[in-house]
């Protein structure tokens, strides 16, 4: 027997969710309703789900009729929404002032001047009929009101102008309050009850429809932390005063970007985390950000797809992404339920396919890193005395037990060595056996698809290290052809430890790598792989090549989520270890920090180039080089067993 419709298990409790009909999506802040059934018993969950199904059927029917008969904001409703906007702005600004440390008369004058500047900017935007400054505050006020208004409607344009007028009043009052002047607020600044009652409905509309304006039917269970109703409970309206999240993030990012390795490896990650938070809640002043918001942010991030951030074409907000994924997942589950009810497969197949319906989401490490970055921004401004109060991101990251549970529910992502058999299968494919034209006298291609995997598997080079290499980085040191890894114009290293000199493996030399470098040097080329460009997603050389290598593995039946390009470095380490290369020497060759005082202080240079050459050349994956018909070809030798 199939389970109840629209019911799924989340942890120990059952939850219920239902998609909003397409004709009604404009009336709701999300594409689905989602509530906890507050029970771990399947029978109770089925009964409660049936009641919710009946209530939503009635409400959806009446809302569809309302959509046909017409639903508009009344003038009183518009006034109530704008009053709520003004009240929220003033409250946030007042809270910011209350939490400020003592300030000088010069600070007061600067704050007053800033409010006057903002007031003049809003008045100028009113004259030009441009209302960008009012977009975020109005969206927050509408969310608190539970009054959906289509952005393309006349009502929305009217509200935008009223909101801009309200913001001009906010800045005028704040300019006075910055000077300690508190006049009695007029009626426009008084708290006003704002809610679905501000929407004019046809006479026959039932109370259930009004309740649905807030996102949930009357008497329903509490929404999950990531639902729109929770966001409305903690209003995300920007304040008119106080340092905002984007400003605080800019301070931290600019300071830490003075370190080149941080700038190349961490800057974009911080920018992504800040952008996601602002997409979810707006560019709030720090005093307006609560622990509940950070917890909701963690849950939103938790629902992002595993590959999030890999595409430069993604333009959807974090809420749009997770809502679409949830909808896709729910559609798959609903279709699976229908097939099971129709008797198309048995229960064991149903359970198997149910797991296959789930979309891969971010893992616990990535989730915690997003939370940690928000926490780091608060820690930074607290240390700079730009913010007074507790860090709202403290204690929000997933705990050890939560991480283990989440990790157990996700496909394995730990990188594993390819192993000699898989490496040989890779290098037996067309890109390596088709043959490169042999020198001298013929064009010699520098295709990174040929050279990069060879260098990673036999020299332990990182993908970005290979692709960003310049011709000048290939030198001869102490008589040994060497790949020098140094930061410089157009080049970055992951860490300071990544700076190293690697002997070029004998296999690459036999294949003609030094001939390629000599040809490029004579032709005046700067880059080892001139045709490779930086990608738009992260600005790295790996953006496009990673996708090419993934497609190549797919085409040749070699794709394995745990064995990507970077995993070839593990095979280099396995080969070194099989040849009894010491721990410290392996770390130096791989570009890892030693974390050992004796090695760092008493042997800072490590092994000589000749000894390093012995270590590198000793890595053998059972491959060889042959020249057939004037072409360089990789061949498989007898298994060596050296790399496991």
> pLDDT at position 60, please?
76
Q: State the Cα torsion 210-213-219-225 to the nearest 10°.
A: -170
Q: How far, in Å, CA of 617 to CA of 612, rounded?
A: 8
* pLDDT at site 412: 62
> What pLDDT score does 318 carry?
86
Cα(531)–Cα(448) distance, integer angstroms: 9
Write down the pLDDT at residue 86: 86
pLDDT at residue 143, as a whole number: 67
pLDDT band at residue 188 under the 50/70/90 scheme:
very low
Contact 82, 194 (CB under 8 A): no
Distance, CA of 97 to CA of 108 (rounded, Å):
11
**Residue that has been written with the tokens 């794709």 in this structure:** 559
What local confidence, expressed as pLDDT, does residue 73 receive? 63
pTM score, two decimals?
A: 0.51
Mean pLDDT over the full length of the chain:
80
Contact in structure between 505 and 458 (CB atoms under 8 Å): yes
Q: How confident is the model at residue 131 (pLDDT cuts 50, 70, 90)?
A: confident
The pLDDT tens digits for 472-490 are: 999 999 999 999 999 888 8
The band of 596, judged by pLDDT with boundaries at 50, 70 and 90, is: confident
State yes or no: pLDDT of 561 exceeds 90. no
pLDDT tens digit sequence for 387-442: 888 899 999 999 988 888 887 776 666 678 999 999 999 999 988 887 665 555 54
Cα separation, 369 vs 366, whole angstroms: 5
Per-residue pLDDT, 133: 81
d(CA 229, CA 215): 6
Whole-angstrom Cα distance, residue 56 to residue 35? Answer: 13
pLDDT in tens, 257-295: 988 878 878 898 999 999 999 988 888 888 888 898 899
Q: Topology of 419-636 in CATH?
A: hpI Integrase; Chain A (1.10.443)
Q: Count CA within 13 A, CB hemisphere, residue 516.
A: 24
| Strand 474-477 versus strand 480-485 pairing type | antiparallel
Q: pLDDT tens-digit profile of 292-302? A: 889 989 988 98
42-68 confidence digits (pLDDT tens): 777 887 887 788 788 777 776 666 655
In which order are the strands placed within the sheet that holds 474-477? Answer: 474-477, 480-485, 500-503
pLDDT of amino acid 242: 65
Give domain limits for the chain.
318-360, 419-636
pLDDT for residue 638: 60
What is the pLDDT, as a whole number, of residue 312?
56
């Amino acid at each position: 027997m199939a389970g109840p419709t629209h019911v799924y298990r989340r942890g120990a409790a059952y939850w219920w969710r239902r998609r909003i009909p397409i004709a009604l999506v404009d009336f709701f802040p999300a594409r689905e309703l989602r509530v906890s059934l507050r029970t771990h018993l399947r029978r109770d969950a089925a009964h409660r789900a049936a009641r919710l199904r009946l209530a939503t059927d009635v409400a959806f029917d009446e809302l569809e009729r309302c959509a046909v008969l017409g639903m508009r904001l009344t003038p009183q409703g518009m006034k109530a929404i704008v009053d709520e906007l003004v009240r929220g702005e003033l409250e946030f600004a007042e809270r910011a002032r209350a939490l400020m440390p003592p300030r000088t008369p010069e600070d007061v004058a600067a704050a007053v001047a800033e409010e006057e500047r903002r007031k003049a900017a809003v008045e100028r935007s009113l004259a030009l009929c441009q209302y960008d400054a009012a977009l975020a505050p109005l969206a927050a006020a509408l969310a608190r009101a539970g009054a959906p208004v289509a952005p393309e409607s006349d009502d929305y344009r009217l509200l935008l102008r009223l909101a801009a007028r309200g913001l001009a009043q906010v800045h005028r009052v704040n300019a006075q309050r910055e000077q300690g002047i508190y006049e009695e607020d007029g009626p426009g600044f008084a708290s006003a009850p704002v809610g679905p009652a501000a929407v004019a409905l046809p006479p026959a509309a039932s109370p259930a429809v009004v309740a649905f304006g807030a996102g949930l039917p009357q008497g329903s269970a509490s929404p999950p932390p990531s639902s729109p109703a929770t966001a409305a409970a903690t209003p995300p309206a920007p304040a008119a005063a106080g340092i905002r999240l984007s400003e605080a993030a800019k301070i931290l990012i600019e300071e830490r970007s003075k370190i080149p390795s941080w700038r190349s490896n961490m800057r974009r990650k911080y920018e992504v985390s800040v952008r996601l938070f602002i997409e979810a809640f707006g560019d709030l002043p720090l005093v307006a950000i609560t622990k509940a918001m950070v917890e909701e942010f963690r849950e939103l991030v938790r629902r992002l797809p595993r590959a999030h951030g890999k595409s430069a074409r993604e333009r959807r907000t974090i809420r749009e992404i997770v809502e679409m994924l949830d909808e896709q997942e729910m559609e798959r589950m609903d279709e699976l339920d229908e097939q099971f009810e129709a008797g198309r497969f048995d229960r064991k197949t149903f359970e198997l396919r149910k797991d296959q319906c789930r979309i891969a989401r971010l893992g616990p490490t990535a989730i915690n890193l997003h939370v940690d970055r928000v926490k780091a921004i608060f820690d930074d401004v607290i240390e700079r005395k730009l913010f007074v109060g507790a860090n709202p991101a403290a204690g929000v990251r997933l705990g050890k037990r939560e991480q283990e549970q989440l990790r157990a529910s996700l496909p394995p992502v730990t990188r594993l060595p390819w192993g000699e058999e898989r490496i040989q299968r890779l290098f037996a494919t067309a890109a390596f056996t088709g043959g490169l034209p042999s020198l001298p006298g013929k064009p010699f291609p520098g295709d990174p698809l040929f050279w990069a995997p060879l260098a990673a598997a036999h020299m332990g080079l990182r993908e970005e290290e290979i692709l960003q290499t310049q011709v000048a980085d290939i030198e001869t040191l102490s008589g040994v052809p060497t790949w020098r890894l140094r930061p410089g114009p157009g080049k970055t290293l992951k860490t300071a430890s990544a700076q190293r000199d690697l002997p070029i493996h004998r296999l690459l030399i036999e294949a003609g790598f030094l001939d390629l470098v000599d040809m490029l040097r004579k032709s005046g080329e700067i880059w080892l792989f001139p045709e490779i460009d930086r990608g738009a997603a992260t600005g790295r050389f790996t953006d496009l090549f990673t996708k090419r290598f993934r497609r190549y593995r797919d085409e040749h039946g070699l794709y394995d989520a745990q064995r990507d390009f970077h995993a070839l470095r593990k095979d280099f380490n396995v080969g070194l270890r099989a040849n009894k290369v010491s721990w410290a020497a392996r770390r130096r060759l791989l570009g890892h920090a030693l974390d050992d005082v004796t090695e760092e202080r008493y042997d800072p240079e490590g092994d000589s180039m000749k000894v390093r050459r012995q270590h590198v050349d000793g890595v053998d994956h059972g491959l060889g080089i042959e020249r057939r018909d004037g072409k360089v070809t990789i061949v498989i030798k007898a298994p060596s067993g050296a790399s496991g």
